[in-house]
Amino acid sequence: MKKLVIFGVGLIGGSVALALKKASLTNAVPQIVGFGRTSASLQAALDLGVIDTASTDIAAALKDADLVLIATPVAQMPTILQAIKPHLHINTVITDAGSTKGDVLRCAEDILGAQFKQFIGGHPIAGAEKSGVTAAKADLYLHKNVVLTPTSSTSKQAISVATQLWQACGANVSTMPAATHDSIFAAVSHLPHLLAFALVDDIASRPNAEQLFGFAASGFRDFTRIAGSHPEMWRDISLANKNALLSELTAYQAELATVKTLLENEDGAGLQALFERASVARNGWAESKKI
């Protein structure tokens, strides 16, 4: 790969660029071109050495590009795909880093047409509550999982190029259908973020919010850390994965109803049994992940 074009040089896209530059100690690093919505963010990426070139001209940016990485909020996908379609070479691979995949693949197939075979959905399971290129880290993807969601029409070249990209960043790459991906991450990522945002919004809207925040400690901090994440990105994710997320909210509401009933009935044994099941499951997961 000689040229990589990144749309959205923030935490995700910027970390890819930094990881590739770090990997250049053992591998040839491609020319990295950044394309963004604001000149200020692109200039920051240049100043930090994250990208080699900044461009606001799509035709020039995509000339001789081997790979295009779209690392923007998922709602921007249609606009970006429409803009790049006329300038794509037949062998250019296109991938993304969005947290939802079914909507992205449908959009890509609809817009790209015959070029859809060169598109492969991707999702790096890594991030931080901070956003922007200043938060980018070369080791963000080290030993982290990246899910690719090829379809029956995805070219072998696209799968190979996307796999090599993420492996060069130090990630562990796996594949699965888009529907499976969206169902899994609605449960273990999108729902937790929704709950964290909702809890902080609830506390912040109360008349004694200042007092409540004043006494909040590590438990509140750990539970709500992800509520500091990028609001626009999580708005887009929530809407894009609406159906799976609504199913998870319904299941969680049923669990909360069970807890409420146990409390109302002062069922200590029932509460302890629930807490023990959850504790065993959580500790087993943490041990398996070496957290």
- Domain of 232: which CATH number? 1.10.3660.10
Q: Which of 155, 176, 197 finishes a domain?
A: 176
State whether 227 and 152 are in the same domain.
no
Note down pLDDT in tens along the chain; length 291 residues.
899 999 999 899 999 999 999 887 556 678 999 997 677 888 999 999 999 999 888 999 999 999 999 999 889 999 999 999 999 999 999 999 999 999 999 999 999 999 999 999 999 998 766 778 888 999 999 999 999 999 999 999 999 999 999 999 999 999 999 999 999 999 999 999 999 999 999 999 999 999 999 999 999 999 999 999 889 889 989 999 999 999 999 999 999 999 999 999 999 999 999 999 999 999 999 999 887
| Domain boundary, last residue among 176, 191, 212 | 176
Asked if residue 169 and residue 105 are part of one domain, the reply reads yes
DSSP label of 96: E
Task: Clarify whether residues 131 and 190 are in a common domain.
Answer: no
| Sign (positive or negative) of CA dihedral 168, 173, 178, 182 | negative
Q: For the chain, what is the radius of gyration of the CA atoms? A: 21
User: Domain tally for the chain?
Assistant: 2
pTM of the model: 0.88
Lateral strand order in the sheet of 3-7: 53-55, 31-35, 3-7, 67-70, 93-96, 119-124, 145-149, 172-175
DSSP 229: S
Q: Are residues 199 and 166 in the same domain?
A: no
Question: Domain range spanning residue 209?
Answer: 180-289
Q: Which of 123, 153, 176 is the last residue of a domain?
A: 176
